[in-house]
Chain A
Amino acid sequence: MTTQYQQRATIAAPAAHIPDANQLALCLGESTQDERTFTVASYQDASGNLYAVASTVTKPIFAEMAGQPLQAPDHARGMDLAAATRAQALLQINGGIATPDVIAVILGDRLESAQDHIQILGLTPIPQDTP
């Protein structure tokens, strides 16, 4: 049996766009909890701009839906469609490094590494205290 999840998407939501990006995740996702996809902005670019990053395997329909007019899914009828649409307008798929004015997405084969995607996005994790 072959998985339907044939792609990996790694998404960098600039700190200022996290609420809208979460509405987009809720709209394109599969769970009512997907509004918590982007939480802490724990990555930074070379200029110190902050991003929340999510990486996941996806079905090919993810990329198709991301380019079409959005509709509230059955699992989130009351979602903020306007916020999701604002985030959708910022999507930049396979456009290279992340910048604060776009929601950058690296979309590749499911076997690609999230860490490789993050490198393409030009992001590094912000060091955290140990432990």
Chain B
Amino acid sequence: MLNFGLIGRRRRRSDPLAALITQLFGNAEQGAIYIPRPIVNGTQALFQNAAGTTPVTADGDPVGLMIDQSPNSNNASQSVSAERQVYTLANGLDFLLFDAVNDHLLLPFIAGDADNFVFSIAVTLNVGSNNNPRYFGLVGTGINLQCGYINDSGIIFTRVANTTYNTGSEVVLGNTYVISHIVQNGIPSIRINAVNKNFSAGGDPTANSFFSNTGVLGAGYESTSNKLQGKIHAALFRYGSITESQLSDIDTYFASVAGVTL
């Protein structure tokens, strides 16, 4: 009996994803976490079609459905064949490869506390990207869209409640980063590779609300040319307050799956 108990504890400790999911979503928090590997925790997590009937099994397969690893079942999908991104396994790292033309995944509408929110992503922006490619956004048009993106000068932008904030030049194109766009008590902030950064320009970061809508991974919103040319190794979004310890655990896990040294 004692041995069984030890083995059980060791297994739980050795599964950092399960621990992260429990920590972030264990109290019925709303959101989603995406890990682009064909099989996650023993279960098929990527499918070629949005209906989820054809599994992704090989490097190079297109991805039309990515299963949410949180208990919320907020799966990300793409039902147009040509708009599917490509699952890639390279140098021991799994990721989705976006072509900057039309690839993107749609997230379901997820309601929650608009003043307390985090969106985290492990992302590589490839050299040669153009038009300020977005890696996350909300479906819509005009000035109401909310998004995270990087421009060709390595400046990260976040847009909350119709106000745009940006960092200084933080990102080297072609490198991989763990980036968290955080809104807590209505105040937006940003964190890059486990370091909290200040905004160098933009509006007064107080008393804003995240504008809830249907989300997009790999683009700012549908039907634009602002698509991501690069890789997404992991992504999550989650409503609710978040602690420094939780952010640190996101950084650590996302860095591990993306090959980032913090």
* A43→B100 CA distance, assembly (Å): 12
Interface of chain B, helix or strand or loop or mixed?
Answer: loop
Partner of B60, one of A11, A25, A57, A130: A57
| Alpha-carbon gap, A118 to B159, bound state (A) | 30
Q: Check if B61 sits within 8 Å of A5, measured CB to CB.
A: yes
A125–B130 CB distance below 8 A: yes
Q: Which residues of B contact A125 (CB under 8 A)?
A: 130-131, 225
Query: Using an 8 Å CB-CB cutoff, how does the interface string of B165-177 with A read, 1 for contact, 0 for none?
Result: 0000000000000
Is residue A127 within 8 Å, beta carbon to beta carbon, of the partner chain?
yes
Residue B220 at the A interface, CB < 8 A?
Answer: yes
A-B pairs with CB below 8 Å: how many? 102
Whether B61 lies near A36 (C-beta < 8 A) is no
- Residues of A contacting B223 in the complex (Cβ-Cβ under 8 angstroms): 39-40, 42
Distance between Cα atoms of A37 and B81 in the complex (Å): 8
Which residues of chain B have C-beta atoms less than 8 A from A32's C-beta?
A: 79
Distance to closest chain B CB from A61 (angstroms)? 13
Q: Tell me whether B224 and A42 are in contact (CB under 8 A).
A: yes
What CA separation (Å) do A31 and B53 show in the bound complex?
A: 12
Closest to B130 in A: A125
Q: Report if B101 contacts A (CB, 8 A).
A: yes
Q: What CA separation (Å) do A5 and B60 show in the bound complex?
A: 7
Identify the closest chain A residue to B132 (Cβ). A130
A54 and B82 contacting across the interface, CB-CB below 8 Å: yes
Q: Is the Cβ of B62 less than 8 Å from the Cβ of A131?
A: no
Contact in complex: A31, B102 (CB < 8 Å): no
Q: How many whole Å from B101's CB to the nearest CB in chain A?
A: 4
Q: Binary interface profile of B, 64-93, with partner A (CB < 8 Å = 1, else 0)? A: 100000000000000111111010000000
Residue A98 is within 8 A (CB to CB) of chain B in the complex: no
The answer to whether B82 and A55 have CB atoms under 8 Å apart is yes
Q: Do the beta carbons of A128 and B101 come within 8 Å of each other?
A: no
Q: Do residues A34 and B80 form an inter-chain contact, with CB atoms below 8 A?
A: yes
Q: Which among B58, B128, B130, B164 is the interface contact of A3 at CB below 8 angstroms?
A: B58
A64 smallest CB distance to B (angstroms)? 17
Instruction: Please determine whether B58 and A2 come into contact, CB atoms closer than 8 angstroms.
Output: yes
The 6 closest A-B pairs by CB, nearest first: A3-B60, A114-B99, A56-B82, A33-B79, A55-B101, A54-B82
